[in-house]
Amino acid sequence: MAGKRMNRWFVPKGQEMTEMDKKILFYQHKGHLVPTRKLIKTPEQIEGTRRSGVVNTGVLDLVGREIHAGMSTAAIDKLVYEYTLDHHAVPATLGYEGFPKSCCVSVNEVVCHGIPNECEILEEGDIVNVDCTTILDGYYADASRMFIIGQTTPEKEKLVKVAKECLEIGMQTAKPYCFVGDLGHAIDRHARKNGFSVVRDLCGHGVGLEFHEEPDVEHYGKKGTGMLLVPGMVFTIEPMINMGTWEVFIDEEDGWTVVTEDELPSAQWEHTFVMTEQGLEILTY
């Protein structure tokens, strides 16, 4: 019937109903958006994503050791490519929908999806987001970190710090049988309290068996809205925090680079998580 949400959760015929089934069906009957069974990862799938996460974390550790003023963003991409292949994995971004590089490197006012190139040279005071996604044995893990090149302004330093705090607040808010909107509400409130804004045109996402899966994990919103988060779901939280307006635009020349509308700086941190009965477990750092 028009206007009614189709049921998304069901108990297979002949299978005994579990406590998780009962809880999900309770929320579904109240009209909430709940996951499908395919979004609940098996222990084997979670372990596969965890192994991929180890490589992904190693990539970002390497970048953290090597990044410096005078380095090109293309040199960062080369590090990512070589490390990933040396560990029998594949950079997920390389060739993804035409993206030409092995990672995204986003400097200052670039929010995300910055394309590494030889001509972009890091300078003292830059703030840089490096975003890597790794495929190992068919499993995807996704994370990004901020790096400050030398000494930067107090304003940029605060932005990087608050962006990390926003990720941590999202982590702390995410409990079994909470909603995506609960995370977004907490993240947005913290950003606003510090005089910053949350990008609304991009979000976190389910991950593991594919690069992007359900649910969309928005970093603003109302409590009790969005998809119900239950044990076994794997997803990213990756708030993009802007110094000025939350509005952004995409560079028309390359069709990828997302830039703040007012060209003020932006910062982002990202982890991949699995929801457990006790809360979130980090699969990437």
Domain membership of residue 200 (yes or no) is yes
Q: Is the pLDDT of residue 3 over 60?
A: no
Q: Is residue 19 part of a domain?
A: no
Q: How confident is the model at residue 65 (pLDDT cuts 50, 70, 90)?
A: very high
Tell which residue, 105, 111, 113, 104, has the closest CA to residue 242. Answer: 111
**Closest by Cα among 120, 109, 107, 111 to 73:** 120
What CATH number has the domain bearing residue 184? 3.90.230.10
Residue 282: partners with Cβ closer than 8 Å, 6 or more residues away = 171, 271, 272, 273
Q: Which domain holds residue 146?
A: 39-282
Predicted TM-score (pTM) of this structure: 0.95
What does the mean pLDDT of the chain come to? Answer: 96
**Averaged pLDDT for residues 254-272:** 98
- The answer to whether residue 58 sits within a structural domain is yes
User: Does 13 fall in a domain?
Assistant: no
**Residue 10 in domain:** no
Is 178 part of a structural domain of the chain? yes
| Number of domains composing the chain | 1
Asked, for residue 20, whether it belongs to a domain, the answer is: no
Q: What is the pLDDT of residues 90-113, one digit of tens each?
A: 999 999 999 999 999 999 999 999
- Average pLDDT over every residue of 186-201: 98
pLDDT at 2 > cutoff 50: no
Q: Is 2 inside a domain boundary?
A: no
Tokens (6 digits) for 263: 């060209």
- Alpha-helical (H) ranges within 41-153 are 43-66, 73-86
Read off the pLDDT of each residue in 56-72 and give the average, rounded to a whole number.
Answer: 98
